[in-house]
């Protein structure tokens, strides 16, 4: 594959760029893995995609699939940048993140900033590279651009024998995902595959799989049974609230406003791992018996979605792909500038979602859909048409052919 996104500076010794020596840190040796899937815990989506691919591989009996979070094997400074700093910027300074997203997408690969970034990442990731070497995988799939960039360099230099594939986890293509030396790419949509080819990637190295979701999303689920598990009425219109309200205030405040705006609905609100938000939602649920179910983190979100009629969520690549897999129409709340804006654009264009900019707009969109069931049904049909419930299995079948 050829692309204009690779700098000659990547071929310079690390010591030249950093002006110092380095010594990789020893790590415990692990049993070899047939498939290694590497993510970065910058948000949950990259990790969930990796877990889905591993689950598909293990279910199919394709040897041992192992997931590595790259952030567990890098220096603290790099971990802070990719996790804490990133999450803080997108939450508190979205306009700054928008500038960084577009600036990095337009940056020339040979710029000093890009050369220093790559050099510092290589320096900080020596333990990760040692971990990969010890795993001795037959194939590697990266669900984040950071490990993909590091391993592409190793492939170009002949220091890594096994093929490296990249799973793009948004309905967008940022240039930091594109690297010479990668053996192949998995695209979220036909449009992303087209843009990959336009970026210089070989057509035969691109597969349109969608974004991987857990195998459970491909199983038939009974609405009545899933509703009974949650103690809700399967016959009543159910709204699923996810994503913390993102710019719309606290999750409990958002839930209360919507319960008041639409007295006919019942609601499930997911607080994730935020104990304070969960406690606030449970207090609200006590004031709205049989209308609100407050849940924390769950590994069975597919069962929650199976008894829902509409999701109110931020447009993350994984969360929206899970909604599509369940044929769940979406109202998208204020997206993070950059990748989530592109995700929202795609879903709006395809007719599977609506978008809001503030609480009043959210209330209006909700009332609009409740008052026009045919529109909601059409959105459900469009969502199902976009679903790729077997994306993870397609990835495994490609990288580990039987």
* 77-136 residue pLDDT tens: 666 666 666 667 766 777 776 777 676 666 666 665 566 656 666 656 677 888 888 888
The answer on 159 and 235 residing in a single domain is no
**Structural domain ending residue among the three candidates 179, 212, 245:** 212
Alpha-carbon distance of 190 to 195, in angstroms, equals 9
Q: Is residue 391 part of a domain?
A: no
The answer on 97 and 54 residing in a single domain is yes
Nearest to 247 by CA among 112, 91, 124: 91
3-class secondary structure, 238 = strand
**Contact call for residues 22 and 120 (beta carbons, < 8 A):** no
- Model confidence over 231-259: pLDDT tens digits? 999 999 999 999 743 334 588 999 999 99
Q: What's 176's domain CATH number? A: 3.40.50
The answer on 155 and 196 residing in a single domain is yes
- Model confidence over 295-314: pLDDT tens digits? 988 889 999 999 999 999 99
The answer on 261 and 233 residing in a single domain is yes
* pTM summary value: 0.85
Q: Is residue 149 part of a domain?
A: yes
**Contact call for residues 213 and 392 (beta carbons, < 8 A):** yes
Instruction: Report the chain's C-alpha Rg in angstroms.
Output: 22
Q: Which domain holds residue 380?
A: 219-386
- Model confidence over 49-70: pLDDT tens digits? 999 999 999 888 878 899 998 8
Number of compact structural domains in the chain: 2
């Amino acid at each position: 594959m050829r692309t204009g996104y690779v700098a000659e500076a990547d071929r310079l010794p690390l010591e030249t760029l950093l002006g110092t020596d380095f010594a990789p840190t020893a790590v415990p040796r692990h049993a070899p893995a047939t498939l290694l899937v590497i993510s970065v815990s910058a948000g949950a989506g990259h990790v969930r995609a990796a877990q889905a691919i591993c689950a598909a591989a293990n279910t199919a009996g394709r040897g041992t699939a192992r997931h590595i979070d790259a952030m567990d094997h890098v220096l603290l400074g790099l971990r802070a940048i990719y996790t804490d700093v990133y999450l803080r910027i997108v939450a508190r300074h979205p306009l700054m993140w928008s500038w960084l997203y577009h600036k990095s997408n337009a940056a020339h690969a040979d710029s000093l900033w890009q050369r220093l970034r790559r050099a510092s990442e290589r320096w900080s990731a020596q333990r990760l590279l040692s971990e990969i070497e010890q795993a001795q995988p037959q194939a590697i799939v990266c669900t984040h651009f950071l490990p993909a960039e590091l391993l592409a360099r190793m492939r170009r230099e002949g220091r890594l024998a096994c093929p490296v594939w990249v799973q793009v986890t948004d309905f967008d293509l940022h240039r930091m995902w594109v690297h010479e030396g990668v053996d192949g790419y998995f695209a979220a949509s036909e449009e992303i595959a087209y843009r990959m080819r336009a970026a210089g990637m070989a057509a035969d190295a691109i597969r349109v799989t969608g974004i991987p979701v857990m195998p459970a999303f491909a199983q038939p689920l009974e609405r009545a049974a899933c509703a009974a598990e949650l103690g809700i009425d399967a016959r009543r219109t159910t709204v699923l609230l996810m994503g913390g309200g993102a710019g719309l205030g606290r999750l409990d405040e958002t839930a209360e406003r919507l319960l008041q705006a639409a007295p006919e609905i019942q609601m499930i609100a997911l607080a994730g791992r935020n104990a304070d938000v969960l406690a606030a939602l449970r207090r609200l649920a006590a004031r709205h018996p049989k209308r609100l179910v407050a849940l924390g983190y769950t590994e069975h979100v597919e069962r929650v979605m199976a008894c829902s009629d509409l999701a109110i969520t931020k447009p993350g690549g994984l969360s929206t792909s899970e909604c599509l897999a369940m044929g769940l129409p979406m109202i998208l709340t204020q997206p993070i500038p950059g990748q989530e804006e592109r995700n929202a654009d795609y879903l709006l264009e395809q007719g599977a979602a609506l978008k809001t900019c503030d609480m009043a707009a959210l209330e209006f969109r909700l009332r609009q859909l409740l008052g026009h069931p045919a529109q909601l049904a059409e959105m459900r049909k469009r969502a199902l048409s976009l679903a790729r419930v077997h994306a993870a299995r397609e990835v495994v079948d490609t990288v580990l052919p039987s």
